[in-house]
Amino acid sequence: MTLNITFQALADPTRRKILELLKKRDMAAGEIAKFFDIALPSLSHHLNVLKRADLITFRRQGQELIYSLNLSVFEEAAKIIIKFFK
């Protein structure tokens, strides 16, 4: 995991809100879009940044992509931060 990519992805408030939504449950892009007043290409960009940072994963369900959190990346980042402050 590249910590720089992780922190860059987390730096954006829209992406943090997406992660908050996915913390509650897995969601399709259309469901996520209902919580934002942005164009779908912009939402797609944010989802791609989160995917590149490995913060979210997705699976295909019919025609939809269902997104979910990748908790292992959060755990790894937390370990690095805790180790830094020891």
User: Which of 40, 73, 75, 61 has its CA nearest to residue 32?
Assistant: 40
Tens of pLDDT, residues 58-78 = 999 999 999 999 988 878 888
Quote the pLDDT of residue 32: 97
Question: What is the mean pLDDT of the segment spanning 9-27?
Answer: 96
Radius of gyration of the chain (CA): 13
Tens of pLDDT, residues 23-54 = 999 999 999 999 999 999 999 999 999 999 99
Q: pTM for the complete prediction?
A: 0.88
Tell me the two tokens of residue 33: 């879009």
CATH of domain 3-85: 1.10.10.10
Residue with tokens 């469901």: 31
List the domain boundaries for the chain: 3-85
Distances (CA, A) of 40 to 5, 22, 28: 23, 17, 13
**pLDDT at residue 1 tops 80:** no
CA distance 86 to 83: 5
